[in-house]
Amino acid sequence: MNKCYLKQMLTYFFKVYHLAEKIKGLKDGRLNLQIETSTISFIVLLTFICRLKSFNRLEHWLKKERFKNLFPKKTRLPHIDTIRRSLSSFDINGLNVLHDHVIKTIFKNKVFRNGTIDGIKVAAIDGVEIFESNKKSCEKCLTRVDKQGITHYFHRAVVCATVGSDPHIVLGYEILEPKKDCSDKDEGEITGGKRLIRKLYKKFHHFADVIVADALYCRASWITEVLAIGMDAVIRVKDERLHIVKDALGLFQSR
C-alpha cells in the first residue's frame, strides 16, 4: 500500500473514530508488559490493513522494520512470539466495545444516509464456520467426523453485515452455542440470528431498513422477529422449493 495513502487513512481513523484512545484501552493477559498491548494491537490492525496473509509474513515485516516509522521514535516493537502470547490471552470484551464504538460512529456520522441499495439500508445475515482445525480445540468446540474418521473442531457464528454499496460493515456476530447436556443438537442458526438482531437493535436501534437472508430463514418465527423491530425481511427462496414460489406467484396475481 502507498505510504502516503496509509498515513492519510490512519489520520482519518484516529480523528473520526478516536482509534488511538480506544486501542489504548485494550488489554491482554500477559504478566510483565515489556511491550504495550496497544503497540501489539496497532501492529495487528496494520497486518489486516496491509492484508498480510500469515504470521510468517508479519514476522518478516517486523524483522525488516517496516512499521518502524509509524510509531513514536523510542517505541519498542514486539517479536512475533510476543504478539502470539498477547493474542492468545487477549481481552475479547475490549475488542467488542471498540467495534461497537466504530459502528455507533458510523451511524452517528450518517455514513449510510443514502442507503446501500436504491436508497434503502440493507443488511444481510448468514451463518459461517470459523476456527476450523483438526488439531486444536477448546471445550466449546463443535465437532464433525469426516470420511477418514478424523475429527474436525470448529465454531459456528451468525454474522450480520451491510450489503450493497461500500463500505461493507460487519454490524455484529453471535457465536452459536454447542449442544448442552439436555439436548443432542447444537444451537440452530435461526435462534442465534434472532438473538443477534435483537442485540443489534438494542445497541444501534434502526440499524437497517431491510434484513436479507437465505432460504434457511424462510420461517414465520424469523419474519415475525424482524417485523417486531420495525424492519422488513427479504428471504431468497431457492428453485428447489418451487412450490413456495408458485404459491407466492399465485397470491401476488390476485393483488
Q: List interacting residues with Zn ion (CB under 5 A).
A: 138, 141
State the minimum distance, in angstroms, from the CB of residue 48 to Zn ion: 22
Angle subtended at Cα 141 by Cα 179 and Cα 93, rounded to the nearest 5 degrees: 105
Grid coordinates belonging to 66: 517496516
Grid coordinates belonging to 76: 519498542
Instruction: For residue 143, list its beta bridge partners.
Output: 153
State the minimum distance, in angstroms, from the CB of residue 83 to Zn ion: 21
State the minimum distance, in angstroms, from the CB of residue 155 to Zn ion: 5
User: Which is nearer to Zn ion, 141 or 244 (by Cβ)?
Assistant: 141
d(CA 158, CA 173) in angstroms, rounded, equals 5
User: Which is nearer to Zn ion, 132 or 247 (by Cβ)?
Assistant: 132
State the minimum distance, in angstroms, from the CB of residue 176 to Zn ion: 12
Do residues 155 and 175 touch, judged by C-beta distance below 8 A? yes
State the minimum distance, in angstroms, from the CB of residue 153 to Zn ion: 6
User: Which is nearer to Zn ion, 138 or 251 (by Cβ)?
Assistant: 138
User: Which is nearer to Zn ion, 10 or 157 (by Cβ)?
Assistant: 157
d(CA 207, CA 213) in angstroms, rounded, equals 16
User: Which is nearer to Zn ion, 77 or 141 (by Cβ)?
Assistant: 141
Angle subtended at Cα 40 by Cα 37 and Cα 41, rounded to the nearest 5 degrees: 85
Q: What is the DSSP string of 202-218?
A: HHHSS--SEEEE-GGG-
What size, in residues, is the chain? 255
